[in-house]
Amino acid sequence: MTAQTPAALYPDHLDTLAARATAALERGGFDHLVVPSGTLHYQVFDDRDYPYAVNPQFKAWVPLVRNPGSWLVFTPGAKPRLVYLQPRDYWHVVPEAPSGYWVDHFDVKVVRNPDDALQHLPRNATRCAILGEPQSALGRYGAFAPNNPQPVLDYLDYHRAYKTPYELAMMREATRRAVRGHRAAERAFRAGASEFGIHLAYCQAVGQDANELPYGNIVALNGHGAVLHYTELDRVPPKPVRSFLLDAGASHGGYAADITRTHAADRGGEFQAFIDAVERAELALCDEVRAGVDYRRIHLDAHQRLAGILQEFGIIRCGAEEAVATGLSSSFFPHGIGHGLGLQVHDVAGFAASDAGGTIDKPEGHPYLRLTRELAPGMVVTIEPGLYFADMLLEELQAGDNARRVDWDRVEAFRPYGGVRIEDNVVCTDDGPVNLTREEFAATA
Ligand code: GLY
Ligand code: MN
Ligand code: MN
């Protein structure tokens, strides 16, 4: 891993994007790639806008995440063009003039009105692959309406899984922020804060608010840890406080970190031992992130390891093999082992068989796995095993044949703690895995 600055890494990143875009345009039979940054969306019967979410195809080129109404134009062989909307507006803060290490690499055209972008787009819209949302359409009769050609998207999305050194540097910075937040959040938890209070401590330490974070913080005390995407943020802490599951990330330059840690209030108790066992499994699974490994294999190995933990703690009465074969392990580990990570927290093209399309199926009985591709250098994936005591899944379990394989007294003992998830972000390389999350926790210990 390199410690070069973004400015030093960006030119090669842009060259990679240009080469990919050139190949993608060839696939689709187009001359230009045109990417709107997106528009503001409004709430129904209201003049309030939703938080703006930039088009990921746009922020792949420039680290701009707060600039609706701008456009990127790439024509093979030419300097890429950025049409940058800087409206005249006294109601809102207007975006600054573009600045930073990336600006000189673009032919920048500043416009004051969204419609003025049109004069800087290629003449013939039919020769353009326009990637974006329908609302971005510009021109008479929506001539510049996104057409999202599948061959172009397939090519770009497939290759986006392989991060450039610039992108890895962005993800390291996102990780740095998120780890700072996780430390602050654990302190707040140990000081007795509510979920809401912990969330605020997290945002303060990261320096980002809910709309800047790559996904809604999951701040779960006690039984709430069993809800996989719990985002309620209770204002009052429970009594007693037993456990804390935090799944929270951070963004940098448009790239995401996605980190989960689980803590026990009693560091000497059985739930802490349960967390430690999941952590050992998680580290072993992170070590499987190597070139040539089928990610589905890691998912299935996770089931074996987690079922072993359920047996070790007396929660199930059968061996790991049987627990996996009968589907019992899925009652406690009901999600996938992870996903690709990058411009989006659940990055695209997780099932892509090739850059020309096609799908790699999920293993049968594992509908929630988000990534089925073979790992290759440059890919960044999450590894996030978990064990949960979720009311709905336990009810279903109790009603089925697997009920006899469960020690229900042990389930009741663990249920008030909710669950455990531990999640790291790992880079596949030519050598061993590089665990961005662990490296940052270790560097700041
Ligand atoms: N934070 C959502 C996930 O871990 O996939
Ligand atoms: Mn994740
Ligand atoms: Mn997560």
Verify whether ligand 1 is closer than 6 Å to residue 347 (CB atom): no
Residues 260-285, buried b or exposed e (16+ Cβ, 10 A)? bbbbbbeeeeebbebbebbbebbeeb
Verify whether ligand 1 is closer than 6 Å to residue 424 (CB atom): no
User: By residue range, what is the domain housing residue 62?
Assistant: 6-159
Whether 259 and 423 have beta carbons less than 8 Å apart is answered as: yes
The answer to the question of residue 1 being in a domain is no
Verify whether ligand 1 is closer than 6 Å to residue 157 (CB atom): no
Per DSSP, the three-state class of 425 is: strand
Which residue shows structure tokens 């609302």?
A: 135
Nearest to 178 by CA among 257, 253, 247, 65: 257
Distance CA 369, CA 392 (A): 20
Same domain, 120 and 192: no
Verify whether ligand 1 is closer than 6 Å to residue 440 (CB atom): no
Verify whether ligand 1 is closer than 6 Å to residue 247 (CB atom): yes
The string of DSSP codes covering 66-134 is S-TT-EEEE-TTS--EEEEE----SSSPPPPPP-STTGGGSEEEEESSGGGGGGGS-S-GGGEEE-S-G
One-letter amino acid for residue 63 of the chain? P
Q: Whose alpha carbon is nearest atom 3 of ligand 1?
A: 258
Total domains in the chain come to 2
Mutate to test the pocket of ligand 1, among 247, 282, 426, 437 (most ligand atoms within 8 A of CB): 247
Mutate to test the pocket of ligand 1, among 345, 370, 381, 425 (most ligand atoms within 8 A of CB): 345
Mutate to test the pocket of ligand 1, among 230, 246, 258 (most ligand atoms within 8 A of CB): 258
Same domain, 411 and 331: yes
Q: For every one of its 445 residues, what pLDDT tens digit does the chain have, with 9 covering 90 and above?
A: 446 899 999 999 999 999 999 999 999 999 999 999 999 999 999 999 999 999 999 999 999 999 999 999 999 999 999 999 999 999 999 999 999 999 999 999 999 999 999 999 999 999 999 999 999 999 888 889 999 999 999 999 999 999 999 999 999 999 999 999 999 999 999 999 999 999 999 999 999 999 999 999 999 999 999 999 999 999 999 999 999 999 999 999 999 999 999 999 999 999 999 999 999 999 999 999 999 999 999 999 999 999 999 999 999 999 999 999 999 999 999 999 999 999 999 999 999 999 999 999 999 999 999 999 999 999 999 999 999 999 999 999 999 999 999 999 999 999 999 999 999 999 999 999 999 999 999 999 9
Q: Which ligand is nearest to the CA of 260?
A: 3
Taking each helix axis from N to C end, the angle separating 6-28 and 150-160, rounded to the nearest 10 degrees, works out to 150
Which of ligand 1's atoms lies nearest the C-alpha of 335?
5
Same domain, 351 and 403: yes
Same domain, 226 and 366: yes
Same domain, 185 and 315: yes
Residue 91 is part of a domain; what is its CATH number?
A: 3.40.350.10
Nearest to 241 by CA among 212, 220, 260: 220
Entry pTM: 0.97
Tell me, in angstroms, the distance from the centre of ligand 2 to residue 302's CA.
Answer: 15
Q: Judging by DSSP bridges, how do beta strands 255-264 and 243-252 pair with one another?
A: antiparallel
Among 97, 130, 159, identify where a domain stops.
159
**3-state SS string over 274-298?**
HHHHHHHHHHHHHCCCCCCCEHHHH
Q: Which ligand is nearest to the CA of 368?
A: 1
Same domain, 153 and 182: no
Verify whether ligand 1 is closer than 6 Å to residue 258 (CB atom): yes
Same domain, 145 and 183: no
Same domain, 96 and 184: no
Q: What are phi and psi of 386, to 5 degrees?
A: -155, 155
Q: Which ligand is nearest to the CA of 259?
A: 3
Distance CA 54, CA 40 (A): 9
Residue 200 is part of a domain; what is its CATH number?
A: 3.90.230.10
Which of ligand 1's atoms lies nearest the C-alpha of 260?
4
Tell me, in angstroms, the distance from the centre of ligand 1 to residue 245's CA.
Answer: 12
